[in-house]
DNA sequence: AATGAATGAGACTTCATTCAT
DNA sequence: CATGAATGAAGTCTCATTCAT
């Protein structure tokens, strides 16, 4: 299995492709990608196995497309919710909380796709590569912008802070959002709301305390 | 595949079991558990496939044992390094940094086992269950102790703080320690040392800033 | 897959058919018929897959047509070069050499079609049948004519000689002409020219030596 | 599908391997290798599909082994019948006839394996390579020896003669022996005996007539 | 007539598990 | 107890053929 989603220019092809992706996304709510078979996807989409291979060179070819979808949704979400920094009246802490809340909302609503995106960035980085890197770079950039907007409050070097914020939100939120029933976060008694606030406050505390 | 590591009371059986686990651990340095076949484990251990099934009911039965090993190593490590809180002269920040550094050292040295432990806690929580819960509870407990030792400096409710610290260190450190070449942490330019410090400082900042 | 090339009476249909055959012939220069897919043929012809099935009942239906083409080319070639026996001044040996050389030229220039024709006469005789038989009969006939023209020199019974000459040239030339890089002839050091002469001389020697 | 027959050192493995090869050989009497499926081989051998893959890395791995078998049988046959040249009282013509007859006997008795050996030397030379080259070289060698024994009668250069004899017998005999019902030889009326004699006489005639 | 998306039988291959030796 | 050959279900993928547009 290697790279390659097939071009789908015609409307019918496009529809098929979308049916397949929707079917996969649906299946990912219950199982991981590795547990889903090509036959499952075809059945869920109401298509034949061969049809899958007309649109996707092989099973792995779904992964990069899943990433793309994740990216698009993220872009769309961030675009629509992007006014965060625009209203910085509440100060850094408030902005961070708003941002965290939004990310949390996004991750929990896109759990299936997001989970595979994060999982396969680890398990099969070869299948993801540039898409993921671009996403992370964009993430760091936007945190850079945030930092600049509050540079007087922030006591950390810009580059390190941007990297660490990106890392923090990417790891801290995903664990509980994507694996709510298992994983490290499953035993906590704090509510989602308190959790999200706390995650934001970790970032806030880091930014406003002296480095040494 | 279902539950069940077989009892190995005799010394010879015990030796076989250990050989198998050592072999698996060795293989996990290169590949994930799912990519390792039972035949691989047998070959690496210098045993026959059938012998594997005399000690382990099925392939999945390795997972809980792997957890046990992880737990033991963690206990051993924490026991030997557990003097952290005992010498709190450096203050909370220093203690957190020491603690983070130690955890980092542990995770990177036990990468293979730790990676599967964390991965399977997500992918197959049914195989892990109590072991993992116990581990997390213990983790929270020890953070509770830490919090108590610095209760005057800390501005957060004890229970929430314990849970969040446990969560933070479990997620923030593992991502970069267990998936150094892929994942979210792969694009960062900050050094390991700076990274570890920053992670500690997230915790410090969270603890010492006001909740609201 | 069974028999049946569809009639193509209209000019457009005829053009489609020719496009397909030309495309197939082109593909046969690189791969064997079994390795060529119907989609390959369609693509090479610049047509859709469905269009192929409007002209050819199934993939196998190409085989008899390929034979027909082979036959036509052979007829055309033999017709144009057929003056061999007409100028028998050089004697039997020379005539055989000329004939062999011509056959060699033909086979090497029509390698693709010729290869499949010979291969499928073996692998799927059911698809070829009469076409092939007619070809062989014609071949024997023409060798019969040749024998008659040199009956005084020839020491072999006419029928046997005609059959054996036909067989000899059909097998001896094809092996090296159609599979130059593999097969039985690939290790020889003799040049094409010497090879062709030698093949002619086998025939000559057979004809002019006593049967017993 | 690529190279690789698996080692079979134990007696049971060896037996399985032999069962598989015998089954394949049996199936080759009716169909070509391409038409035989791995499941067919397994069924015919009374084994499971997976067992095939324990002894042969993949389907193609049967081909080289088939060659080896062909080679061994040929060696065995030639060894036992090798006294040809030792009794040259009958002269070159007689020796050639004896030799041709023996080869004919061998080829017709080993039709299935021989057919695939010759076919795959053409279709998949990559799978065969050295085995085949060695066989051809040995064949040329032995014809060289024959030529030396009758050098006074023979009018052709030694090297060319050896190559051409090898080529002649390899192509002329195989066509009719391996594809008796189809192919170029199927329409002949001459008997097997006469055919074999004629093939020998082609060689004889070539050798004893002047080159120019 | 042409198109090419859709079909689905069937081929190859893997590997967790069993069992005769 | 140990062995490793055998098993066969299940998965991935191909491609000749069909059919709605």
Q: What is the SS3 string spanning B118-158?
A: HHHHHHCHHHHCHHHHHHHHHHHHHHHHHHHHCCCCCCCCH
CATH, domain range A60-207: 1.10.357
Reported confidence tier of residue D88, pLDDT bands at 50, 70, 90 = low
CB within 8 A of A164, min separation 6: which ones?
A156, A206, B190, B195, B198, B202
Q: Is the CB of A41 under 7 A from strand E?
A: no
Residue B157 in this model has a pLDDT that exceeds 90: yes
CB within 8 A of B76, min separation 6: which ones?
none
Looking across all nucleic acid strands, the nucleotide with the smallest C1' to CA distance from residue B55 is: F1
Q: Do B209 and A188 touch (CB under 8 A)?
A: no
Mutation target to probe the C interface, by most C beta carbons within 10 A, among D163, D178, D184, D210 is: D184
Encoded tokens for D158: 């030694």
Closest protein CA to C1' of nucleotide E4, residue: C48
CB C8 within 8 A of CB C50: no
CB D131 within 8 A of CB D138: no
Q: How far is the CA of B38 from the C1' of E15 (A)?
A: 8
Q: What CA–CA distance (Å, rounded) separates B78 from D154?
A: 93
pLDDT at A80: 66
- Minimum distance, in Å, between the CA of residue B191 and any CA atom of chain A: 10
Q: Which of A164-168, C167-171, D139-143 has the lowest mean pLDDT?
A: D139-143
Q: What CA–CA distance (Å, rounded) separates B192 from B182?
A: 15
Strand F contact residues in chain B (36-95), C-beta within 7 Å: 47-51, 53-54
Point out the residue among B32, B204, B211 whose CB comes nearest to the CB of A123.
Answer: B32
Count the neighbouring beta carbons within 10 Å of the beta carbon of residue C54. Answer: 14
Closest protein CA to C1' of nucleotide F10, residue: A37
Strand F contact residues in chain C (19-78), C-beta within 7 Å: 37-39, 49-50, 52-53, 58-60
pLDDT at D160: 95
Q: Do A202 and B164 touch (CB under 8 A)?
A: yes
Residue B196 in this model has a pLDDT that exceeds 80: yes
CB within 8 A of B48, min separation 6: which ones?
B42
pLDDT at C135: 80
User: Tokens 């030396």 map to which residue?
Assistant: D148
Q: Do C136 and D164 touch (CB under 8 A)?
A: no
Closest protein CA to C1' of nucleotide F3, residue: B48
Residue A184 in this model has a pLDDT that exceeds 90: no
User: Tokens 């957190």 map to which residue?
Assistant: B96
Q: How far is the CA of D120 from the C1' of F17 (A)?
A: 29
DSSP H helical ranges for chain D:
11-28, 38-45, 49-55, 62-81, 91-109, 111-123, 125-128, 130-149, 158-178, 192-208
**A121 contact residues in B (CB cutoff 8 A):** 182-184
Residue B69 in this model has a pLDDT that exceeds 60: yes
pLDDT at B51: 94
Q: Is the CB of A15 under 7 A from strand F?
A: no
Tens of pLDDT, residues D153-190 = 999 999 999 999 999 998 999 989 988 877 777 778 99
Computed on alpha carbons and rounded to an integer, the radius of gyration of chain D in Å comes to 19
Q: Is the CB of B124 under 7 A from strand E?
A: no
- Range picked from B62-66, D79-83, D203-207 for highest mean pLDDT: D203-207
Encoded tokens for B90: 């450096």
Reported confidence tier of residue A41, pLDDT bands at 50, 70, 90 = very high
User: Tokens 């007859």 map to which residue?
Assistant: D101
CATH, domain range C1-56: 1.10.10.60
Encoded tokens for B28: 């996990």
- Could you write out the DSSP letters of every residue in A188-207? --S-HHHHHHHHHHHHHHHH
Mean pLDDT by 10 residues, chain C (212 residues): 60 83 90 91 95 94 89 80 57 92 92 86 77 82 91 93 94 90 80 96 95 80
- Minimum distance, in Å, between the CA of residue B16 and any CA atom of chain A: 30
Count the neighbouring beta carbons within 10 Å of the beta carbon of residue A86. Answer: 9
User: Tokens 């059945």 map to which residue?
Assistant: A43
The CATH 1.10.10.60 portion of chain D extends over: 1-56
CB D66 within 8 A of CB D24: yes
CB D133 within 8 A of CB D51: no
The CATH 1.10.357 portion of chain B extends over: 60-207
CB B137 within 8 A of CB B167: no
pTM: 0.79
Average pLDDT rounded to a whole number, residues B180-208:
90
Average pLDDT rounded to a whole number, residues D3-31:
81
Q: Is the CB of A47 under 7 A from strand E?
A: yes
**Closest chain C residue by Cα to residue D211:** C201
* Average pLDDT score, chain D: 86
Phi, psi (degrees; rounded to nearest 5) at A56: -130, 125
């Amino acid at each position: 299995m290697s790279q390659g989603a097939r071009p789908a220019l015609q409307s019918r092809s496009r529809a098929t492709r979308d049916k397949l992706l929707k079917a996969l996304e649906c299946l990912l709510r219950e199982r991981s990608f590795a547990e889903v078979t090509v036959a499952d996807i075809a059945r869920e989409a109401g298509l034949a196995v061969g049809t899958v291979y007309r649109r996707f060179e092989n099973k792995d070819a779904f992964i990069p497309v899943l990433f793309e979808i994740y990216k698009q949704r993220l872009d769309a979400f961030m675009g629509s919710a992007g006014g965060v920094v625009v209203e910085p009246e509440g100060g850094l802490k408030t902005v961070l909380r708003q941002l965290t809340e939004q990310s949390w909302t996004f991750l929990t609503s896109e759990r299936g796709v997001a989970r595979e995106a994060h999982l396969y960035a680890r398990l099969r980085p070869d299948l993801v590569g540039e898409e993921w890197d671009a996403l992370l770079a964009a993430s760091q950039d936007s945190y850079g912008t945030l930092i600049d907007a509050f540079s007087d409050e922030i006591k950390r070097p810009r580059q390190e802070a941007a990297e660490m914020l990106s890392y923090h939100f990417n790891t801290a939120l995903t664990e509980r959002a994507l694996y709510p029933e298992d994983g490290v976060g499953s035993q906590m008694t704090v509510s989602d709301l308190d959790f999200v606030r706390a995650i934001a406050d970790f970032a806030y505390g880091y930014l406003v305390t002296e480095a040494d």
